[in-house]
Amino acid sequence: MDLAAVLAACAGLLLSAHGRPIEGAILFAVALASLPVVLATASQPPVLLPFSFRSYFVVLTLGVVGAVALKDLSRVAPIECLGVAIYYYACVSLREKAARYVPWGAGFAWRTATRSGRPRTYWTMVSFAFALSAVLLGLMLAEVTGWLHRAN
């Protein structure tokens, strides 16, 4: 399920970049919106990617390195590539049924909110991560399709 969603999102980006912006944007949005629904509702959905907090740091590092490496080769800004890492973190939180965060003013001490233990904090962190990733991934889609350049 997860690999299909990632491949469909990439296909949507390619469609958008090659003259089919509406169809590509719909495929991109539906693919990225379906994965969290499956992760949140199914008890143990079949996934190929390692959705864990350990793997998140690997994905974050690869995302930053890839964004910096591709900076001169693509129109997508490095900050927009962080949307993928933030989206992955939110999916990890859904899969693990726990969200890790650092409270404001607490230094670098991680705290964990679980779905059953502290549901308000958990859903706030998951919602914030998905909202931030939606903004960054939306900017990425707009940049790939050229919508940002047409508006100026």
Using CA atoms, how far apart are residues 73 and 20, in angstroms rounded to an integer?
22
Q: How many domains does the chain contain in total? A: 1
pTM of the model: 0.78
Local structure of 117: helix, strand or coil: coil
Q: Tokens 């008890």 map to which residue?
A: 43
Domain carrying residue 40:
2-151
pLDDT at 5: 81
pLDDT digits (tens, 9 = 90+) for 43-84: 777 777 777 777 777 777 776 776 676 665 556 666 777 888
DSSP 3-state assignment of 20? coil
CB burial string 27-60: b at 16+ within 10 A, e below:
bbbebbeebbebbeeeeeeebebebebeebeebb
Encode the chain (152 residues) as per-residue pLDDT tens digits. 677 887 888 888 788 878 888 888 888 888 888 888 888 887 777 777 777 777 777 777 776 776 676 665 556 666 777 888 888 888 888 888 888 887 776 677 778 888 889 899 999 999 999 999 999 888 878 877 776 666 55
